[in-house]
Amino acid sequence: MSSERIQAFPIPDFPIVKPDDNLVKLILHTLETSKTELENGDILVIASKVVSLTENRIVSATDVEPSQKALEIASKNDFDPIHVELAIRESVEILRTDGVLITETSSGLICNFSGVDKSNAPEGNYILLPRNPDASASQYLKSLMNSTGKKLAIIITDTQGRPWRRGSVNLAIGCAGIAPFKYNKGKKDLYGRVLERSTVCQIDEIAMLAEPSMGQASKRVPVVIVRGYTYLASEETAKDINRPKHEDMFR
């Protein structure tokens, strides 16, 4: 990590994002109108909700017929059966149904309700997670770098809980232009001992750094610029963060 100061600041006055909007054009337009300039090395942290909206990952409740399985899970937990049905459809495996609905999504995320959410969705609608957040991040990165001529990185985030701690935090679910991990193996600690293992999920750290600027509810800050953090790119993606089943202690 750079010894320079690391900053996180929002792109202000971002418009409300609608289905099928071009997110890159919205970012560039808002940067221009707010007189905010990108610099080489900037990381754009983008809320998954606006990615989902522009990818039309929004479902009306009137288009969903809950299955018997969804009705059973909803009944025993006092859940919204349509919410449950959409979570089931977005999952490849259901892991817990007592008091929670923990699933594994097609992108490998382990989360509640498959990340399906009603907050900041138009009335009577549900927003699904992006289908392939890493691919979305890669597409945005290419377009933004071509438009600005700057070396950039993209992190797509979602607010999720953790099995071993209370409360939600902002986590990375997609990235491009930045390695998800920082490896400290071989470095020395304060007392000269060589680290034999130390893997840091740096894009999760950056996601959490951006969250106070991004906020929740009606704050309308879906894109935050992180500046001053030194990073490298790699072939690894955010999907590589997910533990394989044989390493997952909570299944």
Q: What digits encode the pLDDT tens for the residues 230-245?
A: 999 998 999 999 988 8
Pairing of strands 223-227, 43-47: antiparallel
Q: Which residues pair with 170 in a beta bridge?
A: 159
* pLDDT for res 219: 61
* pLDDT for res 1: 43
Mean pLDDT of the chain: 91
Residues of the chain with CATH 3.90.1660.10: 59-126
pTM above 0.95, yes or no: no
Closest CA to 51 of 139, 168, 130, 152: 130
pLDDT in tens, 199-223: 899 999 999 999 999 866 556 789 9
Q: Which architecture, in CATH terms, is 7-55+130-241?
A: 2-Layer Sandwich (3.30)
Q: Which residues pair with 103 in a beta bridge?
A: 94, 111
Given a contact cutoff of 8 angstroms between Cβ atoms, the answer to whether 161 and 102 are in contact is no
* pLDDT for res 105: 94
Residues of the chain with CATH 3.30.1330.100: 7-55+130-241
| CA–CA separation, 245 and 41 (whole Å) | 35
Q: Which residues pair with 176 in a beta bridge?
A: 154
Q: Given a cut of 70, is residue 186 above it in pLDDT?
A: no
Q: Given a cut of 90, is residue 73 above it in pLDDT?
A: yes
Tally Cβ neighbours within 10 Å of residue 68. Answer: 7
| CA–CA separation, 251 and 246 (whole Å) | 9
Closest CA to 115 of 131, 139, 99: 131
User: Which H or E run contains 206?
Assistant: helix 202-214
User: Which H or E run contains 237?
Assistant: none
Just give the CATH number of 59-126. Answer: 3.90.1660.10
Structure confidence at residue 164 as a pLDDT band (50, 70, 90): confident
* pLDDT for res 97: 96
Residue carrying the six token digits 């996180």: 8
Q: Give the residue, 100 or 244, on which the prediction is more confident.
A: 100
